[in-house]
Structure 1
């Protein structure tokens, strides 16, 4: 028979609102924590290796293998990435309301493997039927894009759930584990960047120097490995309590709040007076009202974040196309593919995360006297400033590239290498890594933390959707600018001959829009009320 002290110790070792794989209350000492989180991080590293292996050089595949123009290829890449980043809203809803994060990840991984497998088949058939004067048939294009969008659908379930499931391994009510969860988002991004860097260096080389079938087939194998690793770790995970009625209540009660408010035409004045039910709708509690208010307050932050992320869409498209035109030799006999420069983004993250954790945060804590150093919104704002600076830098570098082309009489010789080293582009890629550490990671933690507990997959999907919609808007902006600058016989800013184009003007436009978004963001942030007082 256990003593009262032993019973208290046993209760303290149990994790609130979590169960183990058998459905029993989760024991802190044998489930969750960094051990389980590390397995989940490993799964996401493999997934990022696969996704980036497809995405990083996609614009090259579209222009060289499928014969698309630079503008059309950029729009197609933006649209695909946008879809992959927006669908998590649906995947997160299914996970939080019905399937649970674990089962959603398993199902999404199977769809992922199917999509990349068909993509590999498409590339193989394209290689078999390719010739200098022959473009892929309509059916080949259909197979390619169907395969590509299967991967986007898989992303919809995989992306919001894996990170949320990883964060679930830390108890937010336990002081040490709550701090560990804050570090989890940083180290999550660091290890992902390592996988991304390896993917870029290896897969771009294989795609450029071996063939595209291998370039897509290897990511497929990595996804098979990721699924196996994830399944083998199932006994160590903490699972949110899958009380179906309770989970659905998260949507039902929030929906009831907004339904009552809309009926009374006072959506922006959410209070108990307007939320009293009519025609069978039940009254809402104070918690329901506060949660609904919190979601409304997130919308302006989400919109400004989306606008500030539009420049992010250019890093894997226009940056890469610029790199094609310059001297890419890093050694006398070694020329690198332009997409390889994306590895500097990951290298920057690998450097920035430890500096952020071990240098920046300790200094910030001493200055602000806050456990978190800076607030999540301050972190996002810093990323916006860096984004604006990066667009200015990119515009200046592109203007220099155009001047060198003009000085050497290469304006109408797009296939001749411009005598400008590709190293000129490295600083803007390094800044992208710093932007990710501040803006993207900050946004993920913010939207995860600032929604009701049972809707946290939705919160992460909210963050991802901002990035996804920014890609859609980037594609739309390119279409509009291309049309506006090409009409009346002018040269488009996105002319296929980049020496006749003016991508630098486009970068200035993005710098200006980001600056405006930042000032609006600051205005909104000053009145934002956090759900938890320890974030202030």
Structure 2
């Protein structure tokens, strides 16, 4: 009894030790089921909303096919651009946990509005034949309600889908476990999306849109509930204030001291108070070293910073430099997403103009054909995680690096678009042979499953470069920006979707390749254009990656091999 009292007394006297002990008890694999359940719920909701959105806009809102594809790209662009805002809020103020549950509530509200547009006839224009000149366009009020629902759903999904990635990785200490988590995070995300592309899309097309969207809302709410249930197990990193303020301070302090001569003595630079050794700033972007150069009045006698906008620590300067080094790599991701945007939007329109029958009685929904991308991604991730990567480490005595994964993914994406262009050229040839180019809503006698090889290649590419990108940024970003690290991947995808929209608009204005009846156009030329851009971007990536020097990944991969 006396010993127990002494232990309790010691714990009360050392709250920092007690806090550290309680922190160590949280996290790890016990959180995995709750986080994966949340990923599945949000992904089911995402797939149920976006995968069949083009068909919904065409059939229920009488919107022309190319315009519907552009709206689809805007929605996907928003879902992948807004995560950067959620990550900033998570890193700076609320933390990942709060951002995720608040965002899930917002997305549920937006999707409930979408359910209302499907359930209430007054919120939709009168139905008509697809492409008919007698179709009545939606009113301003109907479009306003639709767009408000899409905006809220996009904003909410953006805040939850990608923020949960870094939160899940934060539950693990070992980089190898973080890599495994990201593999299964993507696997769960894509598997759930594949289910929504088949089951939910079938319900939307064959039962009712209201039921399909309603199931998506229910999945989102169930995912949120399971996420909240696991609260007591999560390791939650407390936000330390905006890290972007520190980045801005580096630029301003360096600019203010640009005329001072840099010193060769470590004592002349402001050091991180948590470090016990003095370090010199690196020579990369040498100009920024001025920000850490101490002058009279910058610091107090104990070494703490007195004027934060006039001097920064060496660590803050080096964090800024590490982000700058990654910008060229990040820029290569901008041109990976336009092919994805064009493929996801235009192949739905392609599928509407192809034979989708399976047997005599079943007709594949146009929005479901992309399920082969997600199935291919899931199967490839499983194969890579269980077989290929362990074999690589065994025979090469070194783990494959994230950038190597990204490069392989880029190559498969280019091949996918080339195959898609060849398939579309064959489809257009058949359309001309059967004189279908002058008939609206005509279906070419060519099976929609001709698209599967391209989708399979795209899925393999996703399995390589998507987890590779996320892992690369998570391991290379400064600790204070872990949530933002994965959001920048989403940001590049979002910008890519908008670039894809810009490409579609440019093609529409300057060529005759994309009329509303694609049998009259040359969609294959659009695919070839995207293939060429992807090939040039692949060469650019090889140049940037060959010049990049890892901050942490080489150590991580060596440690991973040594653990085995």
Using structure 2 for the length normalisation, give the TM-score.
0.84
CA contact (8 A) 2:291 2:311 kept: no
Worse overlay, 516-525 or 271-280: 271-280
Note if 1:494 corresponds to 2:496: no
The CA distance in 2 between the partners of 1:418 and 1:527, in whole Å, is 48
Structure 1 residues 262 and 301, CA gap change in structure 2 (3 angstroms): farther
Q: How does 1:306-455 map to 2 (within 5 A)?
A: 306-370=334-398, 373-455=399-481
User: Could you tell me whether the CA contact under 8 Å between 1:193 and 1:349 is conserved in 2?
Assistant: yes
- 1:420 counterpart SS class: strand
Deviations 1:481-506 (A, max 9, x none): 10001xxxxxx211111111111111
Q: Name 1:113's counterpart in structure 2.
A: 108
Question: Residue in 1 aligned with 2:543?
Answer: 523
Give the CA deviation at 1:86. Answer: 0.6
Are 2:116 and 2:123, in contact at CA under 8 Å, matched by a contact in 1?
A: no
Q: Distance in 1 between matches of 2:104 and 2:62?
A: 31
Contact 1:272 1:284 in 2 (8 A): no
**What secondary structure is seen at the aligned counterpart in 2 of 1:354?**
helix
| 3-state SS, counterpart of residue 411 of structure 1 | coil
Aligned mates of 2:17, 2:61 — CA distance in 1: 49
Matches within 5 A, 1:52-451: 52-126=47-121, 130-132=126-128, 133-171=135-173, 177-240=174-237, 242=238, 244=239, 247-248=240-241, 250-262=243-255, 268-273=285-290, 275-276=292-293, 280=307, 281-370=309-398, 373-451=399-477
- Quick check: 1:483 aligned with 2:509? yes
Distance 1:57 1:313 in 2: 14
Q: 1:216-272 CA deviation, whole Å, 9 max, x = no partner?
A: 1111111111111011111111111x2x5xx22633332211223455789954542
CA offsets, 1:257-310, max 9 Å, x none?
A: 122345578995454235547995332222112211111111111111111221
- Taking structure 1 as the reference length, the TM-score comes to 0.89
Q: 2:438 aligns to what SS in structure 1?
A: coil
Task: State yes or no: 1:473 paired with 2:499.
Answer: yes
Question: Please, which runs of 5 or more residues in structure 1 have no aligned partner?
Answer: 12-16, 172-176, 486-491
Query: Which shows bigger deviation, 133-142 or 352-361?
Result: 133-142
Corresponding residue for 2:131? none
Q: Secondary structure at the match of 2:163?
A: helix
C-alpha separation in 2, matches of 1:57 and 1:66: 13
1:325–1:414 CA contact under 8 A, matched in 2: no
Matched residues in 2 for 1:382 and 1:292: separation?
Answer: 29
Give 1:159 deviation, angstroms.
2.6
CA distance in 2, matches of 1:399, 1:207: 31
Alpha-carbon distance in structure 2 between the residues aligned to 1:383 and 1:199: 24
Report what 1:489 is aligned to: none
Count of aligned positions: 504
* 1-structure distance, mates of 2:61, 2:17: 49
- Between stretches 262-271 and 90-99, larger displacement belongs to 262-271
Instruction: Give the Cα separation in 2 of the matches to 1:332 and 1:18.
Output: 70
Give the match's secondary structure for 1:440. Answer: helix
Q: Deviations over 1:356-398 (max 9, x none)?
A: 012211232134321xx21111111111111111110000000
Pairs within 5 Å for 1:9-48? 25-26=21-22, 28=24, 30-48=25-43
Alignment partners' CA distance in 1, 2:362 and 2:151 = 35
Deviates more, 1:407-416 or 1:465-474: 407-416
Deviation at 1:43, TM superposition (A): 0.3
Deviations 1:5-58 (A, max 9, x none): xx9xxx9xxxxx999xxx764454x43222202210110111000011000011
Q: Distance in 1 between matches of 2:86 and 2:412?
A: 31
Alpha-carbon separation, structure 2, partners of 1:33 and 1:165: 11
Report the RMSD for the aligned CA atoms in angstroms: 2.5
- 8 Å contact 1:316–1:339 — kept in the other structure? no
Give me the whole-angstrom Cα distance separating, in 1, the residues matched to 2:222 and 2:437: 48
In structure 2, what is the Cα distance between the partners aligned to 1:352 and 1:199? 19
- 1:503-522 correspondence runs (5 A): 503-522=523-542
